[in-house]
Amino acid sequence: MLVGAMPGPGGESATGAAYRLQPLLHDLVSTVMAPTGALSGADGQIRPFGVQGLFHADHRALSQATLLVNGREPEAIGHVHEEAGRTRFVSLARWLGDPHPDPTVRLERVREVGARGMTERVEITSTASVAVTASVTVELGCDFAPIEVVKSGGDTTPAEPDGPEEDADGVRRGGLSWRRGGIRVTAAGEDASVETGGGARLRWELSLPPGGTATLRWEVVVDDPAAVVVTPTRALEWSRPEFTATDRRLTRLLNQSLEDLRSLRLAEIDAPEDTFLGAGVPWFLTLFGRDSLWAARMLLPLGTELAAGTLRALARRQGTRVDSASGEAPGKIMHELRRHEFTVEGNGLRLPAAYYGTIDATPLWITLLHDAWRWGMPEREVAALLPNMEAALGWLADYADPDGDGFVEYIDTSAKGLANQGWKDSGDSIRFRDGSQAKPPIALVEVQGYAYEAARNAAALLQAFGRPGAERWNEHAEALAERFRARFWVDGPHGRFPALALDIDKRPVDALTSNIGHLLGTGLLSEEETARVADLLAAPMMSGGYGLRTMSSGDRGFSPLSYHCGSIWAHDTAIVLAGLAKAGFAAQAAGLAEGLLAAGEAFGYRLPELYAGDNVGPFGRPMPYPAACRPQAWSAAAAVTIAHAALGLYPDVPGGRVLLRPMAGAPLGALTARGLRVAGAEVTVSVDATGHATVTGLPPGLTVEMG
């Protein structure tokens, strides 16, 4: 999901060409209730530079909201995320009140973000022995910048408001409006006023008696009819289980992650009942095929309603024609949705509003439908989506392998889209061991696993629902497995392993990467091959940091702060640890889980999109990747995957059975989850300190099998 930087002032490349620097995110505080999100400094101030601001969908509404007391910024001492959409910032005005070292005037700025805007409540408390008078202002700015301009460091220009709203007596009270952006700001209270000219501001004149308090309120409302995403109309689609664990880091990570996931819920404006998760704040708060699918799949232990909404939302936009500009093809599942063309000037990137440049979303859609069916998604809902599944199979058969070599591959034929179209979609992500870049068409290793799994899963659905084609797709899967075994396995310094990809010349791209971990659980690997992959991924060159590195530290292309060639992604690590756990490699899975838990603790239990792939030793904590989204859907969902892998509950509701296979030896300690969902029933699963597991609350007719 990387978008290249826009050329222009800001730095100089090795060739002397100027380029812009993408604004940094790692030290900002985000308060989100999709499709709206505020990014500020840790002091709560929204300053007019970088990516700070109040965003609605993929536009910036406010570019400044700076609070001043007598013309000075309060001194911040802390902040806390109270719940989804609400953050409290605490600061001091030490120049007011009693003249001694202990501060006597304190401000608490409570920010609440909702579906269509933001409200702030500023609580000012004085413990001084003298009266306190102060002028409090909020300096405002609006630039209406599209998210792609903000992301690439582009220039923006603040707009003057259309004018203050006046009372009948001509007094400037109440509100300000920027009609061009559909933005209205109001200040509450009789002592509130607005000012324009050289900017816009809200003002309150205060007089606090000794020990007095005052509360100021202001609000911004965004009217954005062009947005393509809205807040869902239905209640929360998944359960909120009660988790108890020996390792308290896990419960803290789960609690924060579930709040973050609640804040990322979205729906399309024309179908507000079908919920999906926006990919991440601030760049990707919209429908993203692969991201939304993976996040829904990772949340299946909490219910199938999110999966159903995600499947339906993507099915409505399933491809129907061949279009090289958008990457659309019949049966293909979309990559991302925007309100307009997503253009980054200077690097040639021009993505249509509905963009299909993804090689993996289509098989992932099929597998989510299958897995949701196994977890108890109502059969009528599954049946309604089978025509879309058959169309997706048509894409796999007719369009996914343009040169006919039997592998699913991609190339950007538009020259304006994403050069790489797997989950590692940055331009330099597909590298050989010597650091050189592979040329497309590219057949990615994990995508062959996804395609194998999708073919098997589709065959199971076709057979169960009495539709033709099951035998064909089982045979397709077996043929793919044979070709994969013959072409993808390579020899390296540490023995044999699956290559990252095949390039234009069908050469194996021989870097050792995390991609091969996605094969675990797909069925593409034999038991011996699974053990080989597990050993490689657990080695220090891959797992020596706070999770799983995207590329081995022994490869020439490795860099700890490379977006896809050495960093650590929480979702990637979680997917691999889940595959390891289910395959019986508890120690290797536990090592990756420990890395994620340590990272979660370091990042305040809000896992970012990615972070640096340094070794554990040098810093004692993971270093941030400075442009990572946070919160981010599949990173937050990784917490649920850790718990699910430890508990080992694998239902097959149509088959009438449930496999209970916890991680051997309970390497994460004792864990209980009350309120998981299987076919709508509330289920409790416990694993004690010895690894003994129990399950209660299953629907009638399900037989428990111990793994």
3-state secondary structure 76-99: EEEEEEEECCEEEEEEECCCCCCC
Does residue 267 sit in helix, strand or coil? strand
Tell me: pLDDT of 389 over 70: yes
Pick one of 2.40.40.20, 2.70.98.40, 3.20.20.70, 2.60.120.10 as the CATH number of 11-222: 2.70.98.40
Sheet holding 271-277, edge to edge: 229-230, 265-268, 271-277
- CB–CB of 293/365 below 8 Å? yes
Tell me: pLDDT of 415 over 60: yes
Pick one of 1.50.10.10, 3.30.750.200, 1.10.3720.10, 3.40.1190.20 as the CATH number of 229-693: 1.50.10.10
At 62 the pLDDT is 96
Nearest in space to 329 (alpha carbons), one of 318, 338, 341: 318
Mean pLDDT of 590-609: 98
- Residue 206 buriedness (CB in 10 A; 0-12 / 13-18 / 19+): middle
- CB–CB of 353/339 below 8 Å? yes
At 170 the pLDDT is 47
Is the torsion defined by CA of 41, 46, 49, 50 positive or negative?
positive
Identical fold for domains 11-222 and 229-693, yes or no, is: no
Q: How confident is the model at residue 180 (pLDDT cuts 50, 70, 90)?
A: confident
Tell me: pLDDT of 275 over 80: yes
At 618 the pLDDT is 83
At 166 the pLDDT is 60
Does residue 584 sit in helix, strand or coil? coil
Tell me: pLDDT of 347 over 80: no
Tell me: pLDDT of 360 over 50: yes
Question: Could you tell me the two tokens for 421?
Answer: 């179209």
Q: Which residue has the tokens 């999906």?
A: 276
- How many angstroms separate the first and last alpha carbons of the chain? 37
- Residue 235 buriedness (CB in 10 A; 0-12 / 13-18 / 19+): exposed
Could you give the percent of the chain with pLDDT greater than 70? 96
Is the torsion defined by CA of 95, 100, 102, 104 positive or negative?
negative
Element (H, E) at 189: none
- How far is residue 369's CA from residue 170's CA, in Å, rounded to a whole number? 61
pLDDT digits (tens, 9 = 90+) for 539-588: 999 999 999 999 999 999 999 999 999 999 999 999 999 999 999 999 99
Please list, residue by residue across 11-43, b when 16 or more beta carbons sit within 10 angstroms of its beta carbon and e when fewer do.
Answer: eeeeeeeebbebbebeebbbbbbbbbbbbbbeb
Is the torsion defined by CA of 398, 399, 404, 407 positive or negative?
negative
Q: What are phi and psi of 374, to 5 degrees?
A: -65, -35
Element (H, E) at 637: helix 633-647
What's the length of the chain? 707
At 515 the pLDDT is 98
> Lowest-confidence range among 100-109, 159-168, 179-188, 437-446?
159-168
Ranges of each domain in the chain: 11-222, 229-693
Query: Helix crossing, 633-647 with 248-263: angle to 10°?
Result: 140
Nearest in space to 113 (alpha carbons), one of 211, 46, 167: 46
Is the torsion defined by CA of 524, 530, 535, 538 positive or negative?
positive
DSSP state of 704: E
The dihedral region occupied by 451, where left means phi > 0, alpha psi between -120 and 50, and beta the remainder, is: alpha
Query: Helix crossing, 361-375 with 379-398: angle to 10°?
Result: 160
At 171 the pLDDT is 46
Does residue 108 sit in helix, strand or coil? strand
Mean pLDDT of 657-675: 97
Nearest in space to 596 (alpha carbons), one of 611, 583, 580, 582: 611
pLDDT digits (tens, 9 = 90+) for 104-116: 999 999 999 999 9
Tell me: pLDDT of 346 over 70: no
Q: How confident is the model at residue 19 (pLDDT cuts 50, 70, 90)?
A: low
Diameter of the chain by CA atoms? 85
Query: Helix crossing, 570-582 with 289-298: angle to 10°?
Result: 50
Cα distances (Å, whole numbers) of residue 69 to 74, 91, 92, 586: 7, 11, 10, 56
pLDDT digits (tens, 9 = 90+) for 441-495: 999 999 999 999 999 999 999 999 999 999 999 999 999 999 999 999 999 998 9
Tell me: pLDDT of 119 over 50: yes
Mean pLDDT of 674-700: 98
Neighbours of 650 (CB within 10 A): 18
Neighbours of 320 (CB within 10 A): 12
Distance of CA 78 to the CA centre of its chain: 25
